[in-house]
Copies of this chain bind each other. A is one copy, B any other.
């Protein structure tokens, strides 16, 4: 009984491939499907097959184990209960799977007795029929993914301290030394999704407005912008320099009648300042355009672009932005309506800053 229904799968490719014929599902699709109606109860509920990570597993009794499965930003609770067709050995195996292992699950979808508060998909649970380990995680892991789902500790904090929720503090060093585990944190998954959302929205708006995306050289024969803060590269028997900005190339392209160009690409700055505001490498979102009569056309375009990006984040990435806001304690952004974005003339900006106690000249940079 149950013998072939659980265990560790052989490595993919180590045995000849035979398609299983099972369609594998996404947990978020299942969650949406049974959002307003409960799953039907015939034959124990709808059967599903899916791949997921084990967030945690525990043996409740000889006959019962609970697991939390994770897929993307979603988690769902699963029950493994001994029965005529499910052995106690399988219960023990299931409840002992190390956290962060990847598993293949066959099960039925049911409405739980009580909503599962600890799962993002609280209105459903999985009753496991078969459970296979695709890749088993090591024990113990150097850090727990859930512990990483918090802001970086402040300077001076120590590993012995705990967060307000009583979880261990995970220091930057531990995170960087185990980046693959750190990146599994949902806040990191969300941050990466939002980052790509900003790029996608930026590209979308600009291409709609007749911009062409370009890739300008990053290895230059001469230092740009005067030569300070530039990384030199050994280029065979001579020297090259890493681009600090696509400025010259963007302007050349506009002069070459491209009219409107943009670029998303790496920028290199040899600024030896170890602050969160100085990075030696970052991704630049750049644009350059010819205007017809006045530079206010550029300001208008930038205004539309910014609104498109921020409104797009609110409408398409609300799950991700809410998650990041909750973890970092950041408020939602409030956006003006299109056409109602305030424009502050430079001289008034200087006045406002001086009023706020900043000392600067009439024509100083407003950084």
A295 close to B (CB within 8 Å)? yes
Report yes or no: B281 in contact with A184, Cβ–Cβ below 8 A. no
- Chain B residues with CB below 8 A from A294, complex form: 12, 17, 19
Q: Which residue of B has the minimal Cβ distance to A21?
A: B293
Shortest CB distance A256–B (Å): 4
B295 contacts A13, CB within 8 Å? yes
In the complex, which residues of chain B have a beta carbon less than 8 angstroms from the beta carbon of A281?
217-219
User: Once the chains are docked, how many angstroms separate the CA of A51 from the CA of B297?
Assistant: 15
- Select one of B19, B183, B218, B253 contacting A256, CB under 8 A: B183
How far is A99 from B270 in the complex, measured between Cα atoms in Å? 42
> Which residues of B have CB within 8 Å of A164?
none
CA gap between A51 and B242 in the complex, in Å: 36
A363 is an interface residue with CB less than 8 A from chain B: no
Structural contact, A184 and B53, CB atoms closer than 8 A: no
Interface string of A188-229 (1 = CB under 8 A from B): 110011011001100100010000111101110000000000
**A333 contacts B by Cβ under 8 Å:** no
Q: Is the Cβ of A293 less than 8 Å from the Cβ of B19? A: yes
Q: What residues of chain B lie closer than 8 Å to A242, measured between beta carbons?
A: 233
Instruction: Give the complex CA separation of A72 and B212 in angstroms.
Output: 12
> Is B212 in contact with A192, judged by CB distance below 8 angstroms?
yes
Closest to A217 in B: B281
Instruction: Please indicate the chain B residues that have their CB under 8 angstroms from the CB of A264 in the complex.
Output: 215, 264
Contacts A17-B293, A181-B256, A192-B214 supplied; 11 other A-B pairs, CB < 8 Å? A12-B291, A17-B294, A72-B259, A180-B255, A189-B257, A195-B215, A199-B213, A215-B264, A219-B280, A219-B281, A236-B270
